């Protein structure tokens, strides 16, 4: 239960980071550009953080599932996701993309 609550909190942060709360954009070109910006930002992360964020938010796996998959404990996964979100936020702010 605690894991679920924390996960939801992180999801909100991730959603805010990438504007998930906005109305969907109709322009496919703009959608592709936004997706490319996210890919570029993810490439700036250390490999372990890229993997954790991708598995958590793209593949929608729980911390427990990610931990089993990559052979680390849940706390290490939580920390990697948290660090990754912080770095992504900083990347987008630094590049005036937020």
For residue 88, the model assigns a pLDDT of 94
Domains of the chain in start order, with CATH, are 1-19+47-98 (1.10.10)
Which tokens sit at 48? 């372990």
DSSP 8-77: HHHHHHHHHHTTTTSPPP--HHHHHHHHHHHHHHHHTS-HHHHHHHIIIIIS---HHHHHHHHT--HHHH
pTM of the model: 0.68
For residue 14, the model assigns a pLDDT of 54
For residue 2, the model assigns a pLDDT of 44
pLDDT digits (tens, 9 = 90+) for 6-62: 444 444 445 555 544 455 556 888 888 888 888 999 999 999 999 999 999 989 999
- 70 pLDDT above the threshold of 50: yes
């Amino acid at each position: 239960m605690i894991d679920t609550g924390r996960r939801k909190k992180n999801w909100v942060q991730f959603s805010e980071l990438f504007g998930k709360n906005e109305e969907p954009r109709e322009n496919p070109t703009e959608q592709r550009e936004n997706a490319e910006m996210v890919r570029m930002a993810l490439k700036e992360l250390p490999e372990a953080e890229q993997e954790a964020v991708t598995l958590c938010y793209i593949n929608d796996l729980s911390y427990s599932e990610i931990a089993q998959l990559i052979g680390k404990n849940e706390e290490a996964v939580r920390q990697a996701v948290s660090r990754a979100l912080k770095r992504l936020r900083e990347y987008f702010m630094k590049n005036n993309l937020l």
